[in-house]
Structure 1
Amino acid sequence: MKPGKEYDVIVVGGGNAALCAAISAAEEQARVLLLERAPEEERGGNTAYTEGLMRFVYDGAEDIVALSPDLSEEERKSDFGSYTEDDFFNDMARVTENRTDPDLCEILVRQSNRTIHWLRSHGLRFIPQFGRQSFKVNGRFKFWGGATLAVSGAGRGMVDYLYRAATRKGVDIVYDAWVRELQSSDRGVHGVVAQIAGQTTRLGARCVILACGGFEANTEWRTRYLGPGWDLAKVRGTRFNTGDGLEMALRIGAQPCGNWSGCHAVSWERYAENFGDFSVTDDYERDSYPFSIMVNSEGRRFLDEGADIRNYTYAKYGHIVMKQPGQFAWQLFDSSVSHLLRPEYRARRVTKVVASSIEELAAKIDDVNTEQLLATVREFNAAVKRDVPFDPTVKDGRGTLGLAIPKSNWAIPLENPPFEAYAVTCGITFTFGGLRITTEGQVMDQNHRAIPGLYAAGEMVGGLFYFNYPGSTGLTSGAVFGRLAGRSAAVAARTLQVQAAQ
Structure 2
Amino acid sequence: MSKTPETWDVAVIGGGNAALCAAMTAAEAGARVIILETAPKPYRGGNSRHTRNFRCMHHGPLGPLVDSYTEEEYLADLMKVTDGKTDVALARLAIRSSEECLPWMQDHGVRFQPSLSGTLSLARTNAFFLGGGKGLVNAYYRTADRLGVHVEYEAAVTHLEMDGDRIGHIDYTQDGQTRRIIPKSVVVASGGFQADTDWLARAWGPAAKNFLIRGTPYNRGIVLADLLDQGVEQVGDPKQCHAVAIDGRAPKYDGGIVTRLDCVPFSIVVNKNAERFYDEGEDVWPKRYAIWGRLVAAQPDQVGYVIIDAKSLELFMPSVFLPIKADTLEGLAGQMGLPPDRLRATVDDFNAACGDTSGFHPTELDGVSTTGITPPKTNWARPITEPPFYGYSLRTGVTFTYLGLKVDENAQCSVGNQPITNLWAAGETMAGSILGQGYLAGFGMTIGTVFGRIAGKEAAAHAN
The interval holding the TM-score normalised by the smaller chain is over 0.9
What is the aligned counterpart of 1:452 among 403, 414, 421?
421
1:321-343 deviation line (CA, Å, top 9, x unaligned): 12211221111112222111213
**1:335-369 deviations in Å (ceiling 9; x for gaps):** 2221112132xx3x34x32222333333x332212
- Cα distance in 2 for residues equivalent to 1:309 and 1:387: 18
State whether residues 293 and 305 of structure 1, in contact with CA within 8 Å, keep that contact through their aligned partners in structure 2. yes
How high is the sequence identity, in percent, across the aligned residues? 37
Distance change >3 Å, CA 110–CA 185, structure 1 → 2: same
Structure 2 unaligned spans of 5+: none
Cα distance change, pair 295–317 in 1 and its aligned pair in 2 (3 A): same
CA distance in 2, matches of 1:15, 1:123: 15
* Structure 2 Cα separation of the partners of residues 317 and 288 of structure 1: 12
Over residues 450-499 of structure 1, what are the superposed CA-to-partner deviations in whole Å (9 max), with x where a residue is unaligned? 111111000011221122111111111111111111101111112xxxxx
Matched-pair contact (CA < 8 Å) for 2:5–2:181: no
Alignment partner, residue 73 of structure 1:
none
Q: Please, what TM-score do these two structures have when normalized by structure 2?
A: 0.95
Q: Are the equivalent residues in 2 in contact too, given 1:316–1:467 (CA < 8 A)?
A: no
The aligned runs of 1:93-108 (5 Å cut-off) are: 93-108=79-94
Please give the alpha-carbon distance, in whole angstroms, between the structure 2 residues aligned to 1:163 and 1:181.
25
What is aligned with 1:342? 317
What is the match of residue 19 of structure 1? 20
> Is 1:122 matched with 2:108?
yes
- 2:9 maps to which residue? 8
Show structure 1 runs of 5+ residues with no match: 68-79, 135-142, 495-502
Give the aligned partner of residue 465 of structure 1.
435
Q: In the alignment, which residue of structure 2 is the partner of 1:49?
A: 50
Give per-residue Cα distances to partners, 1:232-264, cap 9 Å, x unaligned.
Answer: 211111000001121121122111102322011
Secondary structure of the residue aligned to 2:96 is helix
Determine whether 1:435 maps to 2:434: no
Over 3 Å counting, the alpha-carbon distance change for 1:43 and 1:3 in structure 2 is: farther
2:401 corresponds to 1:426 = no
Q: 1:148 offset after TM fit, Å?
A: 3.1
What's the CA shift for 1:387?
Answer: 5.1
Q: In the alignment, what sits opposite 2:130?
A: 152
Q: Is 1:412 aligned to residue 382 of structure 2? A: yes
Q: CA RMSD in A?
A: 1.8
Q: Secondary structure at the match of 2:433?
A: coil
Partner Cα distance (1:82, 1:267) in 2 = 30
1:488 equivalent in alignment to 2:463: no
Amino acid at match of 2:273: E
Displacement of 1:104: 1.1
For 1:320, which of 292, 295, 317 is the aligned residue?
A: 295
Q: Secondary structure at the match of 2:276?
A: coil
Compared with structure 1, are the counterparts of its residues 387 and 285 closer, same or farther at alpha carbon in structure 2 (3 Å cutoff)?
closer
The letter of the residue matching 2:28 is E
Number of aligned pairs? 461
Offset of residue 149 of structure 1: 1.6
The alignment status of 1:359 with 2:330, answered yes or no, reads yes
Shift of residue 125, structure 1, vs aligned partner: 0.4
Equivalent position of 2:62 in the other structure? 63
Query: How far apart, CA to CA, are the structure 2 residues paired with 1:112 and 1:227?
Result: 37
Aligned counterparts of 1:176 and 1:3: Cα–Cα separation in 2: 20
User: For residues 145 and 126 of structure 1, what CA distance do their matches in structure 2 show?
Assistant: 12
Change (3 A) 1:106 1:434: same
Say if 1:10 and 1:191, in contact at 8 Å, map to a contact too. Answer: no
Alignment deviations for residues 379-417 of structure 1 (CA, whole Å, 9 cap, x no partner): 000111225510112111111111120111111110112
Instruction: Determine which of 323, 326, 333 is the counterpart of 2:308.
Output: 333
Distance in 2 (CA, whole Å) between partners of 1:256 and 1:162 is: 29
Give distance in 2, aligned partners of 1:326 and 1:123. Answer: 44
Measured in 1, the distance between the counterparts of 2:315 and 2:125 equals: 18
Amino acid at match of 1:259: D
| 1:27-426 correspondence runs (5 A) | 27-50=28-51, 52-60=52-60, 62-65=61-64, 80-132=66-118, 143-144=121-122, 147-277=125-255, 281-344=256-319, 347=320, 349-350=321-322, 352-362=323-333, 364-386=334-356, 389-426=359-396
TM-score normalised according to structure 1 size:
0.88
**Residues 119 and 315, structure 2, Cα contact 8 Å, conserved in 1:** no
- Secondary structure of the residue aligned to 1:37 is coil
Give 2:149's aligned amino acid.
V
> Conserved in 2, the CA contact under 8 Å of 1:133 and 1:145?
no
Once the two structures are TM-superposed, the CA of residue 144 in structure 1 deviates from its matched residue by 4.0
